[in-house]
Amino acid sequence: MQQMLLRILETYPSLRVASLEVARASQDSARVEGQLSWVLGAQAGAGHQLSFFGTPSDRFDAGATLSRRLASGNSVEFGAGYAYEDSTVAFSPFIPNPSHRTTIDANLRVPLQRGSGNPEYEQASLIAEAQTEIARASWYATRDQLASQALNIYFAAALTRARLADAEHSIERARRLRRFIAENAELGLSEEKDQLQADARLRARLAEQQSLRVGWEQQRTSLNRLTGRAWDAEFEPDADPKATAELAATELMFEEVQTNSAELRRYQQQINISDAVLQLKRDQRKDVFDLVMGVGARSTQGDTGAGGQSDEELVGGVRVEFSRATDAQGLDAEVRQAELDRVIALQEQQRVHDDLRYQVYGLVAEIQAAELALTEQQARLRSEQLKLDEAVERYRMGRIDTARLIDFEGDVFVSELIITQQRIELAAKRAQLDLLRGALWEGVGPAAEYVESPSP
């Protein structure tokens, strides 16, 4: 079974698609980090136009800015500019013409209400991380769904193989019984109808065997598809149930199931996303109240009628910016939607939690009952076999008719079939419980855990 699961993990396309979805979701974190990167801007231009005083002038200007949003929510900006202007007529002998002007500025914007603490970046980071975890949980869910599908086929195939083996034994007993009746017919101890009845029983066993072989071919093809092997590859399913002593306390197993549940993890991340969206929407409802501080330097150079001129000055200032939305109805609706999304995710999480509890406790009860039933059925088989052996001896002495002997042989066959079915069903329930706990993957190896997917 571990070999089958490993083959599925290594070859089935759905798992690779799920891995690529995780890789895709993880790129959101890089996108969010880009919010804190430096942004460089630049502009330059030249033209011929009228100056402020109405005289034709030629002008050239260039500038550059470097800005960044900080993790705290503050933003900084550095800028530098240069402007050259040459008028055909000097308006005043005291104004430089041509003139060269340079500017250098540094500004700091501090949000005091909306944007304080940079919730847009903080919550976006949480959302991106949660989306990645949801994609990873989907990988685990896909893995377990494939395993559940494979286990159903695997144990059905194991039951078919076991029933084929039982059918072989039954056919061999039917043939011995037919030979025995034929020998007694020669001695005058049985009639033709006894031979016909024994022959009919043998034919029924052979027909059942052929039907089982048809089912086996279907199951073999389906399982080979899941494991990526040739459609007609042979395998022998091994489905022995584990010992009762390996059952841990039910509550401890339920805790393991909760930890292993991909669906519970997915809903928890959806709750985290709803919380992050709520924080974002509540921040957007706040008023804009920003404090902006700036310092800089100005320099003007050029020729005047009185000679060359060069002026330099340090500048600075502080201002407050305020704005308020006149209608918050749209934001209120978005906040309410986020609150409802959170409630929905909590309800779904509780539903999954309750379903898992019923499933685990139900499986444990079924396993315990199945073990008792298997023990009783094995005792019944021993009794049926003793009854058949005793009937054969009485038949040899002519003290029982053929029909009764055939019926006793059928009872042995039915008992063997029930035991086979109960053993396979017990093993299937054990495997289902191990799948819920995550213990099924312990023997499979590192491939059962998610690793970063390779590049497509």
Instruction: Quickly state the pLDDT bin for 193 (edges 50, 70, 90).
Output: low
Question: Residue 244: what pLDDT?
Answer: 42
Collapsed DSSP state (helix, strand, coil) of residue 311: strand
Question: Which one of 307, 323, 339 terminates a domain?
Answer: 323
Query: pTM value?
Result: 0.76
Query: Looking at the domain assignment, is residue 42 inside a domain?
Result: no
**93 pLDDT exceeds 50?**
yes
The model's pLDDT over 389-420, given as tens digits with 9 standing for 90+, comes to: 888 788 777 677 767 777 787 788 888 888 88
Main-chain phi, psi angles of 261, to 5 degrees: -70, 115
Burial class from Cβ neighbours inside 10 Å (0-12, 13-18, 19+) for residue 50 reads exposed
Query: Looking at the domain assignment, is residue 454 inside a domain?
Result: no
Same domain? For 103 and 186 the reply is: no
Q: Which residues of 51-83 are buried (b: 16+ CB within 10 A; e: fewer)?
A: beeeeebebeeebebeeebeeebbbebebbbee
Distances (CA, A) of 275 to 30, 220, 264, 345: 21, 48, 17, 11
| Torsion from C-alpha of 122, 128, 129, 132, nearest 10 degrees | 180
Same domain? For 342 and 368 the reply is: yes
Residues 374 and 277: their CA atoms lie apart, in Å, by 55
Same domain? For 227 and 102 the reply is: no
Mean pLDDT for the stretch of residues 269-293: 91
Q: 41: which DSSP letter?
A: E
Mean pLDDT for the stretch of residues 332-338: 87
Query: Looking at the domain assignment, is residue 61 inside a domain?
Result: yes
Same domain? For 155 and 187 the reply is: yes
Question: Which one of 323, 344, 369 terminates a domain?
Answer: 323
- Biggest CA-to-CA distance, the chain: 151
Check if the beta carbon of residue 212 is closer than 8 Å to that of residue 164. Answer: yes
Query: Looking at the domain assignment, is residue 453 inside a domain?
Result: no
Share of the chain above pLDDT 90, in %: 34
Q: Which of 35-39, 312-316, 328-332, 424-428 has the lowest mean pLDDT?
A: 328-332
Same domain? For 130 and 241 the reply is: yes
Question: Residue 242: what pLDDT?
Answer: 52
Same domain? For 28 and 63 the reply is: no
Question: Which one of 299, 323, 347 terminates a domain?
Answer: 323
| Total structural domains within the chain | 2
**277 pLDDT exceeds 70?**
yes
The number of CA neighbours under 13 Å toward the Cβ of 301 is: 5
> Which bin fits 338, alpha (ψ -120 to 50), beta or left (φ > 0)?
alpha
Query: Looking at the domain assignment, is residue 455 inside a domain?
Result: no
38, 87, 39, 83: which is closest to 63 by C-alpha? 83
**175 pLDDT exceeds 60?**
yes
Supply the range of the domain harboring residue 312.
Answer: 47-69+74-114+289-323
Same domain? For 315 and 436 the reply is: no
The number of CA neighbours under 13 Å toward the Cβ of 219 is: 22
Mean pLDDT for the stretch of residues 205-218: 84
Same domain? For 311 and 183 the reply is: no
Mean pLDDT for the stretch of residues 125-153: 91
Same domain? For 10 and 155 the reply is: yes
What token pair was written down for 248? 């841990």
Q: Which of 16-20, 81-85, 175-179, 361-365 has the lowest mean pLDDT?
A: 175-179
Same domain? For 147 and 225 the reply is: yes
**Amino acid (1-letter code) at residue 332:** D
Same domain? For 385 and 342 the reply is: yes
What CATH number did the domain enclosing 197 receive?
A: 1.20.1600.10
Same domain? For 349 and 384 the reply is: yes
